[in-house]
A and B are shown apart, each in its own frame.
Chain A
C-alpha cells in the first residue's frame, strides 16, 4: 500500500517534471528546398529548442510547405495541420480567398492562428481573424529604402527595376519607393526587366541611353540585382549610381562589400519562424498577446554590418 502510494507520488512528480507538451505548425507557400524558407525553418526549430530547454515544457514545431508553389497543396497541408489539432498554427496568407475557410474553421475549433510573411490585405472587419501578423511590410520597405537613399543625396532621377511584373509583393515595394521619391520631387518610375539577365541588361542599357541622368536604382530581388550590378560594372557606373537591393544572396552581398550597392532590404525571415513559436507558447501558457502586428522588416544590411551578416548567412540565420 505504501509502495503504491509512493509510486503514485513519483508519477505525479514525474508529470510535474515532464511538464506540458505543445505542438505548433508553420504552414507556408514556401517549399522545403527554398533557402529563404530554410532560414525561417531554422528560426522555428531554434525557438522550439530554446523553449523546451528553458522551460519544463516540451515544445514541438513542424514546418509544412509544398515543394512547388501551389495554393491547392498549401490548403491541403493546412487541413492536415488543422486535423492534428495542434496548439497553434502560423500560416502565410498567400491567397486569402483560398485560406479563408480553413483558417476560420481552425479558429472556430479554438486553435490560435498567427499570420506570417504575407498578411491578409483586407480591412480588419473582413479579413481572416488571426491574432496578429509577423512579417515584413512590402510597402514600408519601399518607403524606407527611398528615405535611405534620399538621406545620402537627392538623385536626379530614380528607377525601380521590377523583374516579375504583377507580383503583388514586388509591386508594393515599388509603389512605396516611387511615392517617396515623387514626393521629394524626384522623377521616378518602374522598368520591367524580366528574369533573363542578358535581356535585362539590354533593357537597362536602353533605358539609360534614354535617361542618362538616372542615378538611383532600386532592385526588388536577386533576379534584378544580378543584371544591374553587371551593367553598372560594365559601364563603369559602379558607385556613381546609387543602388538599393532587396533580399540577400552572394551577388548582393558582394555588391555591398564592394561599394556597388548602398544597402539591401531584408525581412529578417529568421524572426518569422522564431517569433511565432515564442508568441504561440506565451499565448497558450499565459494568454499574452502583442498589441499590434510585429514587423520583422524592413531590416537593412549595408556597409556597416555586411561582414557580420555574411558570416551569419553561412550559419543559417540570415
Chain B
C-alpha cells in the first residue's frame, strides 16, 4: 500500500569498511502493509543495508526515519523495541531450546513471587500453542525442541513470533532458500497473511521468482548503489533477473 509517509525511510545512506565502500548514497523506503523485495547479486550491499536498519552498526552518512520521525538506531535491542524484527536464516531460532523458550526469548512473561521473578510457563505454553495452531503447525508440546520442526515450520514460527509481539517491520533474510517447494509455498502464504494483518516485510533473496510472487515493490542494489525500485505491476520477474544480471537500462 503506497502511503504518503512511509513506515521506514532510509535517505542517502553510505557505509565504508576500510577501503571497501559497501553502500553509497542509497535511498530506501518501505510503506505500511507492504512487501518490499530487496535483491541484488552478492556484494551488492543488501545485508549491510539491513544491518544498519537493525542497529548492528551505524551508517557513515544519511538518516533514517521511522513512522515519520527521525531515529538513531544504536543496537539490535533498540531496533527490536521500535518494532523492527529480523529473521536470519539460521539465526532466528535456537534448535536446542524449546519452541516456547524460543518464542519468548528476550521478552519472557514473568510471574512474581515476592521479590523474585520467575518465568510464567503456563502463559508461555498457552500463547505458543495458540500461535502454532493459527499458523497450522502441530507439536506434541511447546517443550519440544525447535530441532524437531522443519525449515519451513521454523520460518513460520519466527514470522508468527514477530506478528505476536506487534512488530511493524519484519525483515526476512533468505527465508525460502533451504526449503522444499511445498514448504516454500506455505511460507509465502504466511507472509501474505502477515501483510494482511498489518505487518510490512522486507524480503531479501536471490530467488527472484519467490519474491516476485509476494512483493508489492522490488528494490535492486548493485555494488553498493541503488539501481532502481520498481512496482511489481511495471515489470516481470524475468526482467528483474535481467536487471540484476546486467544492469538497468532506463530506455526499454
Q: Do chains A and B touch in the complex (CB under 8 A)?
A: no
Tell me the B residues contacting A by CB distance below 8 Å. Answer: none
Q: Which residues of A contact B (CB under 8 A)?
A: none
